[in-house]
Structure 1
Amino acid sequence: MLQILMAGSVLTYVGTKLYQHLNKKEIPSSLQAMKILKEKVTPISKEVHHQQNQEMLPVHKSEFDYEKSVNQELAITSVSLGLATAGALVYPPLIIASLAGLAYVTLPIVHRGYRTLVIERRIGSTLVDAIVLPCVLVSGHYIIAALSYWLYSSSEKLVLKTKDYSQKSLISVFGEQPRFVWTLTEGVEVEIPLEALKVGDIVVVNAGENVPVDGTITDGAASIDQHILTGEAQPSEKEVGDQVFASTVVLSGKICIRNEKAGKETIAAKIGDILNHTADFKTTIQSRGEELADRSALPILGTSAVALVTSGASGALAAMFVGIGMNMKMLVPLSVLNFLNLASANNILIKDGRALEMLSQVDTIVFDKTGTLTQDKPHVEKVYMLAGYEENELLTYAAAAEQKQTHPIAKAILQFANERGLSLPKLGEAKYEVGYGIKVNISNKLIRVGSSRFMEMEGIAIPEEIRNIMSNCHEYGYSLIMIAIDEQLGGAIELHATLRPGAKSIINKLRQRNLSLYIISGDHEKPTKALAEELGIDNYFAEVLPENKASLIEQLQQEGKVVCFVGDGINDSIALKKAHVSISLRGASTIATDTAQIILMNGDLNRLDQLFEIAQALDNNINIGIISSIAPGMMVIGGVFLLHFGILSALVIESAGLALGLGNSMLPLINHQRKPHIIVN
């Protein structure tokens, strides 16, 4: 009896603290990991405001009701445990008050057991709970009953905290479009709501703005970043007659677009619609704790029935009191919750805990090229000189002309000039030929900087030497920017895609884990192959259309591979959703960030290796938790048949096993708080 009272007293205090812990919207700020999570999530919230605000909210009213019910049950059982303990120690009538609370909580527990057996037609852990908890209560073991009810409520709350109830439709690209657009009406620009657009309306889009519709350019020219749709690394030059698509970005220039498709009819929105109707793979993966708990239900009931015959009601109740199911339902979610917290401390946001569990089984990683292995901003690779001009002279002219521009190529040229320590002269009169290039006056010289089209439009002759270089650049997906001084071509600057920092390092680390690595890209064959060779990746897919990326993921899965896809952009979103595990970077487009289960918040690819370490540690931790759940249960069952154990003996053994399991589940965070630089236990 003294053991029960001591356990009840301690667990009353623990129960109150755990209730406060679990009933908060977030993990307590006292944890260093949560502090880091808040610091990292806040900036993302500003960038992708809508989906981050909605991310943790359940959709259906029944889910709100269930969470409310679980919170209420945990509060009642915590109070009841305290009253029962106080009643046994100080004032016996308090036990009656505790019984009232436990009786109230019994109703929904029995209802869940009834639903499992009658409606769902299966035998699960909820049925065992619905039998054993009321039986313990009516047996007269009030403190044991209060403790059992509290453990049950705590396990339900832990499951709720880690289980993903967000079955909401993915946020659509249409929802991220501007609310208002500028249209050209009788030669006058008029701002109207996006939903008021009609087919045939002329939409005006300036530099720095998103294209709101699918349509054809009727006037102007622009350089457009459309990599989120097509995967192309370099901006695409568009002129009258060319098609443009919603969700792409005008980097420079100004265009008028005849609206052909708007809103839900655009290609980008249709990709979002496909995502909404794609079978959700992650909903087919049950929590390991719940699954194992359900599997243990029938053996426990069968063992209890045998014990009823051989050892009487006390032995049957002790056998049914085996906490395999309840312990696993509590320990596995708690382990997941703590490792999610640990991951956040390492700048990794995991939106679906089951993805972290699945990661330990991954044997294949598929990387998207553009925006994942490479950065959006290119770098200057080489400067070609003609007509006796010096390299620094050409760079000075190009950087001076581009110094007020904001597109990626201009930034790359300016950065290269800055690294050379070049001082830029002041600009004279500047004239922008939108979409193609720029003309400026520098030291009484007319400087033209832009594409080959721009030079041809300006009547600048392009030598055969440069045309050969142009052909090679096109073949390998490089950009070539030309510089003309007065009426003569002075040279050209070749720009390559910039490898993301840490890409080579992480590829080497992943190879050491014996993982199969692939590159998938919408880019041409040669640049994709060159990148694969540079990184030491044997497998690659080039010139892959957005809709085919998911097919390639499925193909690998059909070969028996467990696939992790690391991607970026709307064109990757379906592939992100198809993969067993999906990872995106902080710089990803809105829908990609919403689709991915795991986000590397600081864009550091080296976090992938840490992520795999955390996943493996979680797998080991869960296995230890399962052992700590099963072993005491086996001891209790053996004791019931061989040593005539009753419910008190079962409680002591099960409590010891639960204490070990809880310690194991909490160990990663305890170690991290002691040694923040240590990633896992």
Structure 2
Amino acid sequence: MFFMEIVVAASAVYLGKKYLAKKRKSRRISPVAHEANAPGKELSCTACEDEIGDRGKQANHYLKASSVALGLTALSRLFYPALVPVGLLAIVYSAFPFYESGFRAFFKTRRIEVGILDVILVTGMLATGHLFVSAATIWLLSLSEKLLIETENDSRRKLVDVFSEQVRTVWVRTKGVELEIPFEELKVGDTVVVNAGESIPVDGMVVDGVATVDQHALTGESRPVERTLEDKVLASTILLSGRLGIRVERTGQDTIAARIGNILNNTADFTASVQARGMETANAYTPPTLALGAITLPILGPNAAMTILLSGLGYNMRLVSPISVLNYLKILSGEGILIKDGRALEQLGRVDTVVFDKTGTLTLDRPHVGNIHIRAGSGISEHALLRYAASAEYRQTHPIAMAILDAARQREIDLPPIGEAAYEIGYGIRVKVDGVLVRVGSTRFMEMEGIPIPTEMRELQEQGLEEGYSLICVAIDGKLGGMLELHPTLRPEVKGILHGLKQRGISLYIISGDHERPTRRLATELGIDHYFAETLPENKADLIGQLQREGKYVCFVGDGINDSIALKKANVSISIKGATTAATDTAQIILMDGTLHRLDRLFEIAGDFENNMGNNLKLSIIPGLICIGGVYLLHFGIPSGIAIYNLGLAAGVTNAMLPLKKYSESENNDDK
């Protein structure tokens, strides 16, 4: 038996060192190959995919090898003893990755990690003739690695799907003729034609046309901006009304590739984050387990020492911990919550403060009509003014038009037919309604049209700026009829979500770039005691840091490009689908339904996850303590150690799988 142990160990050391040398050589060669084949940032995505593909192939290979080893050892034990040597070779071969890990820990990092325990345990089991136990252990570890890689692949695919909603074709003007071409064929210097309702596909300069553009994806503000000759426009903004010719200054292809590459790079440590907690626990218990085994060896003999190693204090955490994490990621995905970084799921349980960005996060991108102001002496009613405004905006789709039309519907105003379908769209809109000329737009538009703005109406506008709302002018036949207030619209789910968070004892804050008065009014309406008003974008992260220095564990929820630094600074960061790319790239968690409905549910599931992980830890330690006690008090041997270990592993895996059953039953009950 001793001779077999020496042979197996020597073979493993030789093959393991040879394998390591081959890996080091491939690492030295690969950067050169990459550099020669495809320079530039576009390589990052391909390199990531290739790396995952190679790891997946290796995991598949060793899972098949360990399955063959398990089958051979079972057959040799039950029916054909002559298969023992073949089974032994299959076990040694399938154990290569674990020997590599053990050798790296011992020879390279000089740390006592669980990989060393794997080498000693597998070799010892082989040496003492427990081939089936060795094969089963290697098979379980190989299966765990396979599951982790598949989940990482699935996560990456979902992330790419989230951000890959790009136009496939664009219209280009060439020598006065408009042609539709594939997006990837677009070149710098081309003139792209964009119509109302379309996404602007490139960064560029307007060379003809006038239009209103929704830049919420970049600024977080709901009010559209006016763009005309020589103005800059940005990719991923929406042209709400009008038509523009845009000279391409930078094609979107590189930007998209960089965006997807950044997403993939952000998730490059996904597997590491999933494994980290379980591995840390397993590594922490490895030195005392080995020390106890060494102490037991001269006192009770090799069988007792091997049984001590089989006790596996905390050992199963590296298997059941990833299973729990992956199951909860699956549960959250089914709830419409995408976790980009597995560490965020663990950190949510420590959050005691949630900070919300105001515009675009607590509020919708569509405003609503507030008070209607009539110019003194105009002789027009509020009803008539709103009727004219809604008629003028009837065929428009931008947020301001939708707000005016919603107000008309709420007041059950019948819209008259439009006498002349002649629109002049840019800074405002001009249309004939009931034989009168109606103009709707900004004060700048009114001034361009030669319509004077009375002093009292300008004072109303200044008051609106101070209070945090805007005003839209409505002119009738060349004279200002009045103004409509446009207020930010609170998300309908916000009050319920905030109530649920407060019930959990979480402190709530608002960060806003608005003036003090509207921010204070919103905080009071929502029952939030703390707020920061008139905050510049670059100062948001400083405020997050200030809260952290006060000892708070902060979760920041934002959606704008100016939130990205604060999202990165926070302990946990959350954004919503449809937010700016900068926000969703940076955030660790994305609410995929584009609302805050699932935020409280996220914290509920995170708390359940922490309880599950706590039970995992108990189930990985208690059976080990029973085994150690049994060795010294009841003279347990290897069979007893194996039985206790397997019972503990079964209990741990069962606990890790329970959430799937629990939430599946909950979903079925909800459906009923």
Q: Give me the TM-score of the superposition, normalised by structure 1.
A: 0.81
Is 1:148 aligned to residue 116 of structure 2?
Answer: no
Measure how far apart 1:284 and its partner are. 8.7
Measure how far apart 1:606 and its partner are. 3.2
Residue of structure 1 in register with 2:465 after alignment: 474
Residue type of the partner of 2:624?
A: G
Residue of structure 2 in register with 1:666 after alignment: 657
Relative to structure 1, the CA distance from residue 418 to residue 459 in structure 2 (aligned partners, 3 Å threshold; closer, same or farther) is: same
CA contact (8 A) 1:232 1:523 kept: no
Measure how far apart 1:471 and its partner are. 1.3
CA contact (8 A) 2:187 2:248 kept: no
Is 1:441 aligned to residue 429 of structure 2?
Answer: no
Is 1:530 aligned to residue 521 of structure 2?
Answer: yes
Cα deviations across residues 637-681 of structure 1 (Å, max 9, x unaligned)? 2223333322111111112212221221122222223332679xx
Residue type of the partner of 1:76?
A: A
What are the equivalent positions in structure 2 for 1:434-583 lying under 5 Å apart? 434-583=425-574
2:407 aligned counterpart, secondary structure: helix
| Distance across 1 between alignment mates of 2:47 and 2:358 | 34
Relative to structure 1, the CA distance from residue 164 to residue 512 in structure 2 (aligned partners, 3 Å threshold; closer, same or farther) is: farther
2:486 aligned counterpart, secondary structure: strand
Measure how far apart 1:559 and its partner are. 3.8
| Distance across 2 between alignment mates of 1:670 and 1:190 | 55
Residue of structure 1 in register with 2:395 after alignment: 404
Identity %: 51
Measure how far apart 1:294 and its partner are. 1.2
CA contact (8 A) 1:233 1:523 kept: no
Which piece of structure 1 moves more, 358-367 or 148-157?
148-157
Measure how far apart 1:279 and its partner are. 12
Cα deviations across residues 283-328 of structure 1 (Å, max 9, x unaligned)? 9956211111111121111111111121111111111122234410
| Distance across 1 between alignment mates of 2:257 and 2:95 | 48
Measure how far apart 1:105 and its partner are. 0.9
Which piece of structure 1 moves more, 409-418 or 277-286?
277-286
What are the equivalent positions in structure 2 for 1:301-340 lying under 5 Å apart? 301-340=290-329
Measure how far apart 1:485 and its partner are. 2.0
Which piece of structure 1 moves more, 372-381 or 460-469?
460-469
CA contact (8 A) 2:156 2:267 kept: no
Measure how far apart 1:121 and its partner are. 2.5
CA contact (8 A) 2:45 2:260 kept: no
1:250 aligned counterpart, secondary structure: strand
Which piece of structure 1 moves more, 499-508 or 390-399?
390-399
Is 1:385 aligned to residue 374 of structure 2?
Answer: yes
2:380 aligned counterpart, secondary structure: coil
Select 2:415's aligned residue among 413, 424, 434: 424
| Distance across 2 between alignment mates of 1:537 and 1:557 | 19
Residue of structure 1 in register with 2:31 after alignment: none
| Distance across 1 between alignment mates of 2:283 and 2:298 | 24
Which piece of structure 1 moves more, 301-310 or 156-165?
156-165
CA contact (8 A) 1:58 1:165 kept: no
RMSD over aligned Cα, in angstroms? 3.8
Residue of structure 1 in register with 2:276 after alignment: 287
Which piece of structure 1 moves more, 118-127 or 201-210?
201-210
CA contact (8 A) 1:162 1:336 kept: no
Measure how far apart 1:137 and its partner are. 1.6
| Distance across 2 between alignment mates of 1:59 and 1:641 | 50
Relative to structure 1, the CA distance from residue 523 to residue 433 in structure 2 (aligned partners, 3 Å threshold; closer, same or farther) is: farther
User: For this pair of structures, how many residues does the alignment match?
Assistant: 622
Residue of structure 1 in register with 2:5 after alignment: none
Cα deviations across residues 185-207 of structure 1 (Å, max 9, x unaligned)? 89887889786325xx8776543
CA contact (8 A) 2:222 2:365 kept: yes
Measure how far apart 1:625 and its partner are. 0.6
Relative to structure 1, the CA distance from residue 664 to residue 482 in structure 2 (aligned partners, 3 Å threshold; closer, same or farther) is: same
Relative to structure 1, the CA distance from residue 163 to residue 312 in structure 2 (aligned partners, 3 Å threshold; closer, same or farther) is: farther
Cα deviations across residues 26-81 of structure 1 (Å, max 9, x unaligned)? xxxxxxxxxxxxxxxxxxxxxxxxxxxx9999816444333322233233333433
Measure how far apart 1:353 and its partner are. 2.7
Cα deviations across residues 424-467 of structure 1 (Å, max 9, x unaligned)? 22112133333222221222222222222222222223333322
Measure how far apart 1:549 and its partner are. 3.4
CA contact (8 A) 1:483 1:491 kept: yes
1:403 aligned counterpart, secondary structure: coil
Which piece of structure 1 moves more, 418-427 or 156-165?
156-165
Cα deviations across residues 142-185 of structure 1 (Å, max 9, x unaligned)? 222222222332333344455699899x9899998768877888
CA contact (8 A) 2:156 2:264 kept: no
| Distance across 1 between alignment mates of 2:156 and 2:334 | 27
Measure how far apart 1:410 and its partner are. 0.8
1:431 aligned counterpart, secondary structure: coil
Residue of structure 1 in register with 2:346 after alignment: 357
CA contact (8 A) 1:430 1:439 kept: no
Relative to structure 1, the CA distance from residue 174 to residue 349 in structure 2 (aligned partners, 3 Å threshold; closer, same or farther) is: closer
Which piece of structure 1 moves more, 273-282 or 59-68?
273-282
Residue of structure 1 in register with 2:38 after alignment: none
Instruction: In structure 2, list runs of 5 or more residues that go unmatched.
Output: 1-42
Residue type of the partner of 1:74?
A: L
Instruction: In structure 1, list runs of 5 or more residues that go unmatched.
Output: 1-53
1:633 aligned counterpart, secondary structure: helix
Residue of structure 2 in register with 1:609 after alignment: 600
Which piece of structure 1 moves more, 359-368 or 337-346?
337-346
Relative to structure 1, the CA distance from residue 156 to residue 644 in structure 2 (aligned partners, 3 Å threshold; closer, same or farther) is: farther
Residue of structure 1 in register with 2:613 after alignment: 622
Select 1:123's aligned residue among 108, 112, 119: 112
Residue of structure 1 in register with 2:362 after alignment: 373
Residue of structure 2 in register with 1:32 after alignment: none
Measure how far apart 1:100 and its partner are. 3.4
| Distance across 1 between alignment mates of 2:428 and 2:139 | 71
Residue of structure 1 in register with 2:103 after alignment: 114
Cα deviations across residues 102-144 of structure 1 (Å, max 9, x unaligned)? 1221233212211122123222111211221122022112222
Cα deviations across residues 207-260 of structure 1 (Å, max 9, x unaligned)? 334455666656554322223333323222345565544443332234566777
| Distance across 2 between alignment mates of 1:56 and 1:155 | 25
CA contact (8 A) 2:316 2:620 kept: yes
Residue type of the partner of 1:109?
A: F
What are the equivalent positions in structure 2 for 1:578-589 lying under 5 Å apart? 578-589=569-580
Relative to structure 1, the CA distance from residue 339 to residue 101 in structure 2 (aligned partners, 3 Å threshold; closer, same or farther) is: same
Is 1:676 aligned to residue 667 of structure 2?
Answer: yes
Relative to structure 1, the CA distance from residue 164 to residue 275 in structure 2 (aligned partners, 3 Å threshold; closer, same or farther) is: closer
2:379 aligned counterpart, secondary structure: coil
Residue of structure 2 in register with 1:16 after alignment: none
CA contact (8 A) 1:158 1:330 kept: no
Is 1:196 aligned to residue 194 of structure 2?
Answer: no
Relative to structure 1, the CA distance from residue 143 to residue 184 in structure 2 (aligned partners, 3 Å threshold; closer, same or farther) is: closer
Residue type of the partner of 2:590?
A: I
Select 2:54's aligned residue among 51, 65, 71: 65
CA contact (8 A) 2:148 2:271 kept: no
Residue type of the partner of 2:640?
A: S
Residue of structure 2 in register with 1:414 after alignment: 405
Which piece of structure 1 moves more, 289-298 or 425-434?
425-434
What are the equivalent positions in structure 2 for 1:627-638 lying under 5 Å apart? 627-638=618-629
Residue of structure 2 in register with 1:4 after alignment: none
Residue of structure 2 in register with 1:596 after alignment: 587
